[in-house]
Copies of this chain bind each other. A is one copy, B any other.
C-alpha cells in the first residue's frame, strides 16, 4: 500500500520550463553593502530570540506542510529551520536590498563581475552558465552579446565532444590493435577533478558499455601508481585537464602517466586528450589526439558542466545523458532568475544559510546526502562553497567585519548517523544540516525486510534526523537530553538521474553565488591559494638545489625542511 503512493507525483520529468523574465541586463551596481540596511539591522535584532523549535506545538503539521518549496523536480522542506514569518520577510527584504536576483542575472548576462573594485583582480566574466545555455527549447535571456558568444563557444565544444564520442561508438576511433577503449584516466586537480569525479560517482549505473573512469589528482605519486596498477593501458584513454596548461600537479602526473604508456610500448599521442584554454602551453595537437577548450570566464569549481566534466562524463554515460545533466542545470539556472509565481529555490536556500551563518553565527554547515551515489558530492560542494565565499574582503577591497562563507563538510547518511552525528545532536557547537534525499534508488535492487524496503528505511532515517535535530528531547538523565534547535532542511527529489543531478549541482552553485552577492564578496576568484604556491615553489627550488645552496635567503624554509627530515 505504501508502495503504491511511494513514487508520488514529484517526477522531475514533468518540470515545466520556467519563463525567463525580460530585461536580464539590469543595471545594478556590482558592489552593494547591505550591512547598514534596515533588513540587516532587523535580522540582527530577530537573531537575539530565534524561534524555539523545541517548544510544544511549534513544529506543527501546518508548519511542516506549509514550509515546502518546489522547483525543477526538487522539494525543499524547511520547517525545521529556526525561521518564522518575520525572519523570512526580513531575509527576503535583505535579498531585495542586495538586488540579488538582478545581480545574478548580470552574472548570467556576461558582466565582468569577477573583480574587486579599485584593486588589481582577475577582471573576468562569470559565464559557466553559458556551458548549459545550449537548448533551443528552453528560454534564453535577451541575447546579450557576451553571453551569446559564450553559449556559442559551449555549443561548438559540445559538437566536438559529440563527434568524438560518435567516433568511439562507431569504432572509427580504436586502439592500435583495433579494440575499443574501455577506460579513461582523467588527470586534473581541484575543479578539474572534484566536480567531474563527484558526478561520475553519482551516475555509475548510468554508464554505457561498462566504461570506467579513473581520476588522478594528487601530486603524491601513489595516486597515479594506484590508478595505473591493474589498468590495461592499451585500451585506456587519458584526459589531461588544466585551464592554464601549467598546473604543477597535473603536468607532473601527466609525465608519470605518459611514461607508463611509453614503457608499455604504447604511443601516448594515440591515447591522450586534453581540456585546456585555447592557446595555453597544453594546446598542442602534436601531443593530444583531441583538444577541448575551456575559457577564462569559467572558474574551475564551476566547470563541471563545461568540457572539464564533459569529456570524462560523456565517455562514461554517453553524449545524450551528459546533455541531460546540462538540461537539469539549465532549468535550475532559469529558476534562479526568478519569475512570478515560482519559488526561487537556490535563493531561498541561500537566505536560510545566511540566517544560520551571519545572524545565528554558526561556523559550519554539514551537507548530508542520504544517497550513496552522492558519496563525493559534499567534497565537491566543499570546494565550491569554501573557495567561492571563504573571503575576507568585500567587492571594494574592504576587510569585512561579518562572517562570510562557512566551513562545508559532510558524508552520506545513514553512515554519518553511526559516526559524527553524536556531536551534531549533543555537542557544544551547533551544526546546521542540509539533508539531501531521493525517493527511489538508482539500481532497482531492493528488498522488503520487515515490511519496508531499504529505500524506505533510508528516507525514514533522514526525516527522523530532521525532526529530532529540531525538536530535541527532554529527559531526567542529562546524557539522554537533546537540546534541539539544530537547524536543518531537507532537499528531496524522485531519483538521482543525470537531469536531477544537473539541477542539484546548479542549485548549490547558484546558492553560493546568491550568498556571495549578499555578503558582497567576489565568489569567483581564489587569491588565497597563491601564497602557498609561491612558498611551495621556493621549497621545491631548495630541494632541487640541495642543502647549502642559498640558505641565507630563506633560513626558515630550510629550517622547516630540516625539521621535517626532508633534507
8 Å CB contacts to B: which residues of A213-271?
Answer: 217-226, 228-229, 248-249, 251-253, 255-256, 259
Most chain B Cβ neighbours within 10 Å, of A5, A191, A406, A427: A427
Q: Which of A433-451 contact B (CB under 8 A)?
A: 437, 439, 441-447, 449-451
Query: Counting CB contacts under 8 A, is A467 at the interface?
Result: yes
Q: A558 to chain B: which residues have CB within 8 Å?
A: 61
What distance in Å separates the Cβ of A553 from its nearest Cβ neighbour in chain B?
A: 13
The verdict on A88 contacting chain B, using a C-beta distance below 8 Å, is no
Q: Are A415 and B465 in contact (CB under 8 A)?
A: no
Q: Closest residue to A77 on the B side, CB-wise?
A: B563
- Cross-chain contact B565 with A492 (CB below 8 angstroms): yes
Q: When chains A and B are docked, how far (Å) is the Cα of A60 from the Cα of B557?
A: 10
Shortest A145–chain B CB gap in Å is 29
Q: Is the CB of B562 within 8 A of A2?
A: no
Question: What B residues does A135 contact at CB under 8 A?
Answer: none
A46 contacts the other chain (CB 8 A): no
Contact code string A418-458 (vs B, CB < 8 Å = 1, else 0): 11111111111101000001010111111101111111111
Instruction: Judge whether A532 is part of the interface by a CB distance below 8 angstroms.
Output: yes
| B interface footprint on A2-21 (CB within 8 Å = 1, 0 otherwise) | 10011011100000000000
Given A119-B477, A402-B428, A425-B532: 8 more A-B contacts, CB < 8 Å = A219-B414, A220-B373, A364-B407, A383-B418, A403-B429, A407-B407, A462-B564, A467-B535
A44 within 8 A of B: no
The answer on a CB contact under 8 Å between A458 and B256 is no
> Does A113 make an interface contact (CB < 8 A)?
no
Segment at the B interface, from A158-166, A344-352, A479-487: A479-487
**Whose C-beta in chain B lies nearest to the C-beta of A393?**
B478
Q: Are A463 and B566 in contact (CB under 8 A)?
A: yes
Q: Does A300 contact B (CB under 8 A)?
A: yes
* In the bound complex, CA of A426 to CA of B522 (Å): 13
- In the bound complex, residues from chain B placing their C-beta under 8 Å from that of A567 are 2, 5-6
Question: Are B543 and A441 in contact, CB atoms less than 8 angstroms apart?
Answer: no
A264 CB → nearest B CB, Å:
13
A474 to chain B, nearest CB (A): 11
Q: Is A499 an interface residue (CB 8 A)?
A: no
The 13 sampled A-B contact pairs (Cβ below 8 Å) are A65-B563, A220-B372, A221-B458, A256-B445, A383-B418, A391-B426, A399-B478, A409-B409, A425-B529, A463-B564, A464-B532, A464-B535, A494-B565
One of B386, B479, B560 near A419 (C-beta < 8 A): B386
B561 touches A463 (CB 8 A): yes
Decide: A441 near B220, CB < 8 A? Known: A420-B383, A563-B65: yes
